[in-house]
Chains A and B, each alone.
Chain A
Amino acid sequence: MKKIPYIDVYRDQTLLKDISSRIHAISKKEVQFMEVCGGHTMAIHQFGIRQMLPPTIKLLSGPGCPVCVTSRIYIDKAIRIGQMKDVIITTYGDLIRVPGSSSSLERERGNGMDVRMVYSAMDAVVIARENPTRQVVFLGIGFETTAPASAITIIEAKKSGLVNFSLLSAHKVMPPVMQQLIHEGIRINGYIAPGHVSAITGTRMYQPIVENFHIPVVVSGFEAADILHSILLLVRQVESGTPRVEVQYKRVVKSEGNTIAQERMRQVFSPADEPWRGFGVIPESGLRIRKAFSTFDADLRFPLKMKESPEPKGCICGNILKGLQAPADCRLFAKKCTPDDPVGACMVSSEGACAAAYKYAT
């Protein structure tokens, strides 16, 4: 493999062994750390981070894979809208495979629905400009990482008077679900928080978790050394009994975050109660489009009455997203539910806990 600058140094075996031995040296208490983000879940498997940890440390995968926590109603709604005349559905790639209650966008595309994968939210705006006689709906999913880009598309659409573009928002924010997990009594002794979220939001939003629950939060990068280093920082905090918000990913994250992106998000979205797969509705955990931009709200443009349907029988995605159970605990795992033919959302997304366990399990 040819070297890539800024990446290979963080995968260096000597460096990793050094961090690992420091963790081994100071870790005494039995702890459970949760990596909230799906990107971390995948990286932990990919780099074999668990193999570098002492038996005192258990890693739990959390609810931070945007595809996994997207409710089935949302997929059902996207499909219903896509089935309407002269509609183009635009979406990030991962979402097309997620099963709703009876179908997926991928399957509907096979039936002739116009579903287009985009690499950037702005591509959806371009498609809308190129197809003035059709309604272009962008499926806005993701956390504070993708929400600013969605906000900018709406600002741009409004500025240019685009009338055939709208956003179906399932955007979510991170902190409420992290508190919800603690409320539900799940034993979490430390959070590995997603670095790219904090690159946008900054770090202050985690302060209540530390103050109210005395749980350390370390904002982590995504390379092997980043994650291992974050675990070391968490262990230090736990062993010394001094929980706080700490930034490991200093080369990217500033404590105030990206204030321009925050401003765009605030301009377009307001906090709203939001359904999460496996959790139900979590107060103020979602982002709704504000009245000033309501013409771009697909929920309003295509008012549909949707009915909640029960989760598939035997699927324990809900408990997996909460860190209560592991993929291997599921009866369907690697049998009825595989990445080729997924039953639950955790198997669909490349960042889902089940997909990660299936792909990399040793």
Chain B
Amino acid sequence: MIRTDKILLKHGSGGKSMATLVHEIFMRYFDNSILSEKTDAARIDVPNQKLVFTTDAFVVDPIFFPGGDIGKLAVCGTVNDLAVTGAKPLFLSASFIIEEGFPVTDLIRVVKSMAKASAEAGVKIVAGDTKVVHKGKCDKIFISTSGIGTIGLKQIPIATGKRMKPGDHIIVTGYVGDHGTAVMAAREGFNMQIRVRSDCAPLNHMIQRLLKAGIDITFMRDATRGGVATVLNEAVEGKSLGISVNEQKVPCRSAVRGFCELLGFDPLYIANEGKAVIIVRPGDALKALHVLRKDQYGRLAADIGTITRNNPGRVILQTQTGSQRYLDMLSGDQLPRIC
């Protein structure tokens, strides 16, 4: 039994207390046959396919926010990184760096949330590690997840965008800016009442459906930090292609727009955790929207622009006012304006 209500240094020291913690929290909620073998490294069976492998670290503040928490984020973030390459995510590892004094109930809440997200995504957490650091040496809890997925031997690589052509359509899978807005508004000192929840979600099933429907995807990426604008810039960076985006077609909640207007932000730069930018052949755009809109995470998918021959390497925004301007990559953080 864990007898304390706080995580203490001994819970990371490799002794009995750590064994109890691992057993009563991690093994209990992440429960699967591979993990329960309790070996130093997980032995996993993978089909005869190409492997994709990724890793990510999560340090969000606050750790609980409307629509999610750091645990859900740590699972969905890695699942989505795998999924947007066209892969089927299978296994995750999870490392926890916990600040001494962190409430055990909060840890359970985070771990339960990870278990739930993994179950939804259909992935297993098969390896992990825990370290406890002195108070003040980390902010509550940091989680790092790595993930392995598989991709068919014949699957054409879509992550690089090398097959993009002028005329290809750009789809975003729903409202932009929800996650960043929800987290910022939940931060201490903001005192802003706003009904926006993080969009944090595993997108792998939706993406697999798209691939199964035979949609010819020429580029795909999840629009996390830096938002949709950053992904669009990455798509054409160093290429002989440009992008034209119609601002009015970008789906965005009025609450998020209002929040951004107030602080001088642009929703196109705000982080998402459940949105992908998907570039498809022009003939497949309608079908792709049809498939996406049938999924709970793609109901508001929209066609927002096209790949162009003009302005190579740059993203041009057709603004609401009828003018045109560059939509550049984000420089530094977006900081609230003064007046």
Contact = CB atoms under 8 A, between A and B. Distances in A.
B332 interface: yes
Interface string B221-247: 000000000000000000000000001
| B contact residues, range | 20 to 34
B33 interface: no
Interface stretch (B74-82, B248-256, B278-286): B248-256
Interface stretch (B198-206, B290-298, B321-329): B321-329
A7 B88 CA distance: 43
A361 B324 CA distance: 10
Contact of B325 (A8, A46, A119): A46
B336 interface: yes
Interface stretch (A28-36, A78-86, A91-99, A177-185): A91-99
A48 interface: yes
B257 interface: yes
B247 A1 contact: yes
B320 interface: yes
A145 B337 CA distance: 12
Interface residues of A, number: 49
A340 B332 contact: yes
Contact of B319 (A17, A48, A340): A48
Q: Chain B contact residues: over half helix, strand or loop, or mixed?
A: loop
A114 to B, nearest CB: 13
Contacts of B339: 39, 66, 142-143, 145-146, 196
Interface in A300-352: 338-340, 349-351
B264 interface: yes
Contacts of B264: 42, 350-351
A8 B254 CA distance: 11
A108 B270 CA distance: 26
A360 B337 contact: no
A350 B331 CA distance: 10
A49 B324 CA distance: 10
B1 interface: no
A32 B16 CA distance: 77
Given A16-B322, A45-B325, A118 B189 contact: yes
A97 B335 CA distance: 10
B338 A66 contact: yes
A51 B328 CA distance: 19
A42 B257 CA distance: 17
Interface of B: 189-191, 247-254, 257-258, 261, 264, 316, 319-326, 328, 331-332, 334-339
Given A48-B321, A358-B328, A360-B328, 10 more contacts: A4-B257, A66-B339, A224-B321, A338-B331, A339-B332, A340-B332, A350-B334, A350-B335, A350-B337, A361-B325
26 contacts: A1-B251, A1-B320, A2-B251, A4-B258, A7-B257, A7-B261, A11-B321, A16-B322, A17-B322, A39-B337, A48-B321, A48-B324, A51-B323, A51-B324, A67-B338, A92-B336, A92-B338, A94-B337, A97-B335, A141-B338, A146-B338, A146-B339, A349-B338, A351-B337, A359-B331, A361-B325
